[in-house]
Amino acid sequence: MIMKSTRSDNPRRRHGGSRPLLLVAVAVFLLSLVGVFWLTGSGDSEGDVVLDEIHTVERGSFTVSFPASGELSSSEFVEIRNPLDTVGVVKSIVDEGTTVQEGDTLIQFNQDSLEDAIEKLEDQLTDAKNRVVDVEQNLEIGNSTRASALDKANINIEIAELGLKAWEEGVDLQNLQKYQLALETALINSTRLEKRFEEARGLVDNGFISKDEFEMDRIRMIEAAAAVKQAEIALDVYQKYTRKQDEKKWSSDVEQAIAERSRVIQRHRAELVSETNTVESARNRVTKLEERLVELRSQLNMCHMTAPTTGMVVYKSSMSGEGRRRDEDPPMIGTHLSPNELVILIPSADKMIANLKVSESRIANIRPGMKTLVYSDAYPDTPIEGIVDGISVMAEDGGWRDPQRRDYTVRIRLYQSPDMELKPSMRCVGNITLDRVEGALSVPIQSVFREGKYAFVYLPQGDGFVQRAVDVGRSSDISVEILDGLVQGDRVLLREPKAFEVLSRLTDDEPAEESDPFEDADQRAAQTPMDSSEVVAQ
């Protein structure tokens, strides 16, 4: 069995006996310090009060202002957005905070998909150009065919018109003369045979010709009379029917030829419109493909983005404000950026502004043009002059940390030295000047107290202090303007006295002033409430 040693190895236990001595030494040291301070102030004391706690009332000037915190920004930014028509995939991107010169590379996008699209588009453009050649040739062939068809239609019209004219001036006259001649011949022959028959009658009676010859003359006379009838009928039929029929036929041939030409022209016109539209469509497709090819090649060139100006690179994800997510990840290799998505801002370093957060209770006192001194965390000892340039229309709440808080953003235009390398998002504090108190009685703010509706100070009297009501005016976190209740040369206590040091107090039925001094002061200077946590003297 292992036995434990009874000797303690704990340093605290080994030196436990020296602890009381250490406490005694500390107590002696503190008492000696108190004695030194007491002896130092005993030469300038009045009673038991150190004179450093007494302030003599004098006339002077002070500035009424209040502080507000915020961050720096720039009034002008050069925005770098995704210029591609499609989602861009980041291949490389400059580090945030880098100071770039004009022409330096900012972002390189992956261009594989664009190169593939350009290659496909070039093939489509070649096919489209070949298509234009084909349809243009078809149009030329169609025009030639239509011209030949129109010539043929014109020739057919001419042939039909010549046929009509030949019938009118030749065939018709010939036929009419033929039928008229046949009738006239038949009449003459009939008349001749009738005379011969009459002569034959006498010859038969005298026995010069035979009976049979006489009958033959009779037959010839009858046949001649019948031939006249036939010739008259033939002439009549021709004039009434055949002639008109032939005229209509030849006229119809002319009309049909003319109508056919009209149909040819109409058909050719439709074909021409269709083929011309086909050519225009093919040419338009070539034009669109060429324009798209130019766009894609331009997009390919945009895959390499350079800085348009000199400045510091700030990622959009690092900027706070409306429309920007606080948890947004910074862009990196592989990040997908939507078309026109904001990626980088290059602020103008010589046009900086301070965006200060001002509570809702204070915003009514802020006016454009008010002077302001701003201190950045980077240059805490260097004041930067500025003026109020604008105030946000809408307030922002404090989020889940302080949902009841309502702050407005006050924009301060700064006039910084060109040598100051201010950067956006630097923290800063600004003192907005509300008023300037000139030649007024004033006391330190810690000497003024409130009790109920009265403001008062403590004046030394004998071995103690008495309360005196005062009427206060404008104030900063250091000084308070005294409108009534004190005169130059009065002395006031700069702290709250202990209970046994107070010789007399004000009572509600014995006010020093009939009016409420703080209400009067608030009415005269509503913009300067006595909240030392919000008011800073300049």
Domain locations in the chain?
Answer: 49-63+437-524, 77-110+304-347, 113-302
In percent, the amount of the chain with pLDDT more than 70 equals 83
Amino acid code (one letter) for 309: T
Cα–Cα distance measured from residue 91 to residue 19, given in angstroms and rounded to the nearest whole number: 67
User: Does 326 or 199 have the greater pLDDT score?
Assistant: 199
Q: Which residues contact 476 (CB under 8 A, 6 or more apart)?
A: 62, 63, 64, 65, 445, 528, 535, 536, 537, 538
Reported confidence tier of residue 50, pLDDT bands at 50, 70, 90: low
Phi and psi dihedrals of 500, rounded to 5?
-75, -15
143 with 135: CB under 8 angstroms? no
Neighbours of 266 (CB within 10 A): 10
Say how many CA atoms lie within 13 Å of 48 toward its Cβ: 7
The DSSP symbol for 17 reads: G
Q: Are strands 311-312 and 88-93 parallel, antiparallel or unpaired?
A: unpaired
Cα–Cα distance measured from residue 213 to residue 219, given in angstroms and rounded to the nearest whole number: 10
Which pLDDT tens digit goes with each residue over 444-483? 999 999 887 789 999 999 989 999 999 998 888 788 999 9
Structure tokens, 508: 């509600």
Which pLDDT tens digit goes with each residue over 119-159? 999 999 999 999 999 999 999 999 999 999 999 999 999 99
The DSSP symbol for 360 reads: T
Q: Into which CATH architecture does domain 77-110+304-347 fall?
A: Beta Barrel (2.40)
373 with 430: CB under 8 angstroms? yes
Q: Which residues contact 447 (CB under 8 A, 6 or more apart)?
A: 55, 457, 458, 480, 492, 493, 494
The DSSP symbol for 94 reads: P
The pLDDT of residue 409 is 92
Q: Into which CATH architecture does domain 49-63+437-524 fall?
A: Beta Barrel (2.40)
Cα–Cα distance measured from residue 252 to residue 260, given in angstroms and rounded to the nearest whole number: 12
Cα–Cα distance measured from residue 120 to residue 25, given in angstroms and rounded to the nearest whole number: 91
Phi and psi dihedrals of 438, rounded to 5?
-115, 135
Q: Which of 46-55, 92-101, 159-168, 249-258 has the lowest mean pLDDT?
A: 46-55
Which pLDDT tens digit goes with each residue over 352-391? 889 999 988 888 888 899 889 898 888 888 899 999 999 9
Which pLDDT tens digit goes with each residue over 478-532? 889 999 999 999 999 999 999 899 998 887 554 444 334 334 434 433 333 333 3
169 with 177: CB under 8 angstroms? no
Phi and psi dihedrals of 451, rounded to 5?
-150, 110
Beta strands in 263-421 (DSSP E): 304-306, 311-312, 314-315, 336-337, 342-347, 352-359, 371-376, 384-391, 396-398, 402-414
pLDDT at 326 > cutoff 60: no
Q: Is domain 113-302 classified as CATH 1.20.120?
A: no
The pLDDT of residue 229 is 93
